[in-house]
Amino acid sequence: MKALVTGTAGFIGSHLSERLLEHGHSVIGIDSFTDYYPREIKETNLSSLRTASNFEFLETSIEAAPLKDVLADVTHVFHLAAQAGVRKSWGNDFAVYTSLNVDATQHLLEACINADIERLVYASSSSIYGDGARIPTREDERPQPLSPYGVTKLAAEHLCMLYHANHGVPTVAVRYFTVYGPRQRPDMAFNRFLRALILKQPITLYGRGDQTRDFTFVEDAVSATMMAGTTGHPGTAYNIGGGSRVSINDVLDVMQKMTKQTANIKYHDTQLGDVKDTYADTTLAQNHLSFSPRVQLQDGILAEYQWLLSTLTHD
């Protein structure tokens, strides 16, 4: 396999790129280092990749990349590049989301029409479902996103299916449910909670903590993404969940016991776009991809905690 990974310096993209290399594949990584969070974090994510002989890195946007040349001998495309974050997607920032999530995806799909690729795997999101979905949620549930971010992820997913139906681009979508683990973005809840506990700082909690999430460890998300690249059915979207649906309050209990710290929680109103509950029905991914999450929530939180400790010690 020769893979193109967009967003290769990001949280999931860097883990995926490393796993591909470990399996003996070649990787071309693209990242434009958008300013959603500090570049130095992404550079650290890239550090081991840059030393690999079968890894090539291009610092560029998707629109500016020489995609015809890049795709000339690529067999698989893993499209993870996107502007993340539900809460920042409102207002004037929406133009950034439409540019980086929708326009860039359409540009990549156009380039893939005449490319001889086996799969294009698009990283979608559980945010497309919104709050009206049945629990556990199946892929055929009507999507009703609650945030502009979710709208752009759904629009890009629709584009992927459109290009499959009309141009035969072998697109597959993986809908991630709340991915966590080492290298998690600094704005995400587990990173914020653990960092605050380690540094003995207040924790900002939106809502009362009774909202639930299906938490997916990053290594499980990567496994599912790679499986989608080989056995995923083109034109199909798959839920990728960790099977650990728990409340935020339960997560904080686990973290306090793990860190031996008592959380100083500052409660704030629920933010626009935040859904109440998520839980993935992963039957389709089990059947088509042989996907089954392996990492239990407590083990995954421990891995992220140990990673954060090492970064804070290094700092």
Instruction: Give dist(CA 210, CA 247) in Å, integer.
Output: 5
Helices 248-259 and 297-314, packing angle to 10 deg: 50
State the DSSP code for 277.
B
Tokens linked to 39: 């570049």
Instruction: Give dist(CA 40, CA 79) in Å, integer.
Output: 22
Instruction: Give dist(CA 222, CA 77) in Å, integer.
Output: 14
CA torsion through residues 172, 178, 179, 184, sign: positive
> Which residue among 36, 97, 149, 180 is the active-site one?
149
Instruction: Give dist(CA 272, CA 314) in Å, integer.
Output: 36
Sheet holding 55-59, edge to edge: 55-59, 26-31, 2-6, 76-79, 119-125, 171-176, 236-240
Pairing of strands 203-206, 236-240: unpaired
Tokens linked to 50: 């840059």
H-type alpha helices, the chain: 11-22, 39-50, 67-70, 94-97, 104-112, 148-167, 189-199, 218-231, 248-259, 283-289, 297-314
Residues 86 and 139: beta-carbon distance below 8 Å:
no
Specify whether 149 is catalytic. Answer: yes
Instruction: Give dist(CA 55, CA 48) in Å, integer.
Output: 10
Cα-based distances in Å from 16 to 3, 19, 29, 102: 10, 5, 11, 22
Residues 176 and 239: beta-carbon distance below 8 Å:
no
The set of catalytic residues is: 149
